[in-house]
């Protein structure tokens, strides 16, 4: 993480050819597509993982798949590193460029190409924002299920790269469960299509391989996504608990009882206070932990599930139960949760972790997370998707203090190792990027990593696509 790792060393030969590369790309593409002025490159130097900042060699902003193909053909010819970029909301450094890299920004590819209610699918360009899809079909009673907290800004291309989730992934799954097809440009400019509106495709599941590949197998320019009919009704309920352990045990028992609410979100006391100060959502401030449990369906279905959930909560020290009574109250409850990262950023710099653990280990991992962060003299606020064990500890620190930053990075490493050792994994939805790259050996054996790298190399033998990410720099087949 952070200062403990580095991007791949910039190729001096490429840097020396910068003017020629800029001129070539400018000639190759329509006017206004290439950005090369160093001041104009600044917005592209980092992403949501702000521990690194690096100006790219040049930025391109294509509008069509064909323009992306031209860019990759050129870069393949001269073996120029390429970094795909959506909205730059990555929390693992997935879109941070190298000094010798050509950034392919997809923000201008932001059109919804087709909405097909009969097949319950939409075809969109990869620069379309996550929330824009649901907005486009909401009036007709449909929505797109994955809902990252950054859904107002993050793009479908980035969601596919990181296999993003969100609070409602407990019931509806993450991006891979809602992706039907892609149009993708390979490293050499070849355009391929995988999947489509049909429920299944013949042959290998290459679509499943692409989703979550962090832009290393190709650049997705269009996606066919699943549309889901809205439920008859939905109701979020706040549960305040006397202890974090009680809240975590309640989550495990809800799932263990065979109940699948549409979402179960967790906040500890520091997160509750931060979010309530910002959103004024009506969160209780006299509890140690809070769960947001949302159920959906008919009134009878919601009442039945809520009764079962409330009965379980009472066995674990629930202190407050607050049911939303209107769409406005429901929106306020979710505003607090959706604003958690931004609200935390108002009071401190933070690193957001993304480990996933078995539900039976939630209580233990929460306790040890607090101990780890305290041992470094730092603070932590926990807010996460409890239903599927996707932890998001926010480690608070001062980014301008090198010692503080180093402590935060080490604490984050220890937490991720804790998640793996508890039977979980390094990432649930944020991806590996550069943040977790050097921890991959803690989860995978050398044989495992070599096999994954062999698959990657089959798509991109020269390793030009997002080359500094996912796999440890040492030991690569280059």
What pLDDT score does 439 carry? Answer: 96
Q: Which domains does the chain have, with CATH numbers?
A: 2-105 (3.30.43.10), 112-229 (3.30.465.10), 234-341 (3.30.70.2190), 348-421 (3.30.70.2740)
Residues 385-397 have pLDDT tens digits of 999 899 999 999 9
Residues 189-237 have pLDDT tens digits of 999 999 999 888 888 999 999 999 999 999 999 999 999 999 999 999 9
Contact 38, 55 (CB under 8 A): yes
CA distances from 57 to 52, 83, 397, 462 (A): 16, 11, 31, 19
State yes or no: pLDDT of 265 exceeds 70: yes
Q: How far apart are CA 453 and CA 448, in angstroms?
A: 9
What pLDDT score does 9 carry? Answer: 76
What pLDDT score does 478 carry? Answer: 53
What pLDDT score does 10 carry? Answer: 82
What pLDDT score does 7 carry? Answer: 67
Distance between start and end Cα atoms, the chain: 23
Residues 452-469 have pLDDT tens digits of 999 999 999 999 999 999
* Closest C-alpha among 240, 270, 254, 238 to residue 393: 270
What pLDDT score does 426 carry? Answer: 95
What pLDDT score does 475 carry? Answer: 73
State yes or no: pLDDT of 3 exceeds 50: no
Residue with tokens 């401030």: 285
User: Is the alpha carbon torsion for 314, 317, 318, 319 positive or negative?
Assistant: positive
Q: What is the mean pLDDT of residues 143-172?
A: 95
What pLDDT score does 50 carry? Answer: 79
For 16, phi then psi, to 5°, come to -70, -25
Q: What is the mean pLDDT of residues 272-296?
A: 95
Q: What is the mean pLDDT of residues 2-20?
A: 77
Helix H or strand E segment including 290: strand 289-296
What pLDDT score does 2 carry? Answer: 39
**289-296 β-sheet, strand order:** 318-323, 234-241, 289-296, 263-268, 379-385, 393-397, 349-352
Q: How far apart are CA 66 and CA 1, in angstroms?
A: 36
Q: What is the mean pLDDT of residues 47-69?
A: 93
Contact 385, 359 (CB under 8 A): no
Q: What is the mean pLDDT of residues 345-365?
A: 93
380 pLDDT band (50/70/90 cuts)?
Answer: very high
State yes or no: pLDDT of 430 exceeds 50: yes
Number of CB atoms found within 10 A of residue 176's CB: 19
5 pLDDT band (50/70/90 cuts)?
Answer: low
Contact 144, 225 (CB under 8 A): yes
Contact 126, 155 (CB under 8 A): yes
In this prediction, what percent of the chain has a pLDDT beyond 70?
Answer: 98
Mean per-residue pLDDT over the chain, rounded: 94
* Closest C-alpha among 260, 265, 286, 248 to residue 337: 265
State yes or no: pLDDT of 159 exceeds 60: yes
Q: How far apart are CA 259 and CA 301, in angstroms?
A: 12
State yes or no: pLDDT of 289 exceeds 90: yes
């Amino acid at each position: 993480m952070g200062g403990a790792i580095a991007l791949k060393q910039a190729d001096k030969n490429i840097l020396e050819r910068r003017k020629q590369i800029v001129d070539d790309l400018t000639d190759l593409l329509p006017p206004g597509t290439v950005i090369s002025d160093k001041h104009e490159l600044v917005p592209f130097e980092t992403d949501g993982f702000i521990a690194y900042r690096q100006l790219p060699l040049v930025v391109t902003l294509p509008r069509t798949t064909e323009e992306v193909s031209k860019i990759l053909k050129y870069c393949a010819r001269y073996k120029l590193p390429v970094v795909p970029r959506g909205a730059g909301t990555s929390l693992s450094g997935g879109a941070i460029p190298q000094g010798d890299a050509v950034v392919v920004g997809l923000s201008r590819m932001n059109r919804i190409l087709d909405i097909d209610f009969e097949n319950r699918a939409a075809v969109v360009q990869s620069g379309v924002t996550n929330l824009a899809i649901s907005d486009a079909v909401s009036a007709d009673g449909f929505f797109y299920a994955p809902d990252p907290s950054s859904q107002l800004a993050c793009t479908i291309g980035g969601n596919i790269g990181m296999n993003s989730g969100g609070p409602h992934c407990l019931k509806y799954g993450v991006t891979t469960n809602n992706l039907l097809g892609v149009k993708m440009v390979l490293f050499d400019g070849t355009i391929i299509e995988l999947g489509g509106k049909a429920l299944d495709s013949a042959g290998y599941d290459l679509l499943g391989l692409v989703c979550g590949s962090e832009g290393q197998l190709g650049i997705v320019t269009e996606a066919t996504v699943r549309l889901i009919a809205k439920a008859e009704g939905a109701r979020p309920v706040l549960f305040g608990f006397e202890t974090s352990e009680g809240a975590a045990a309640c989550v495990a028992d809800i799932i263990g009882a065979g109940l699948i609410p549409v979402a179960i979100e967790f906040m500890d006391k520091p997160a509750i206070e931060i979010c309530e100060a910002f959103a004024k959502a009506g969160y209780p401030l006299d509890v140690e932990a809070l769960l947001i449990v949302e159920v959906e369906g008919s009134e009878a279905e919601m009442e039945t599930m809520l009764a079962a959930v409330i009965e379980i909560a009472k066995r674990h020290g629930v202190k407050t139960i607050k049911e939303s009574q209107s769409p406005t109250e429901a929106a306020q409850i979710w505003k607090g949760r959706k604003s958690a990262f931004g609200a935390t950023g108002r009071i401190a710099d933070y690193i957001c972790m993304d480990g996933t653990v078995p539900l039976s280990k939630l209580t233990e991992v929460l306790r040890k997370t607090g101990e780890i962060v305290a041992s470094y003299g730092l603070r932590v606020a926990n807010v996460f998707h409890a239903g599927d064990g996707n932890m998001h500890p926010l480690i608070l620190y001062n980014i301008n203090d090198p010692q503080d930053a180093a402590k935060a990075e080490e604490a984050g490493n220890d937490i991720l190792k804790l998640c793996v050792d508890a039977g979980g994994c390094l990432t649930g939805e944020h991806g590996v990027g550069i943040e977790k790259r050097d921890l991959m050996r803690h989860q995978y054996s050398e044989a495992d990593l070599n096999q994954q790298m062999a698959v990657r190399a089959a798509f991109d033998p020269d390793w030009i696509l997002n080359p500094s990410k996912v796999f440890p720099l040492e030991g690569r087949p280059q």
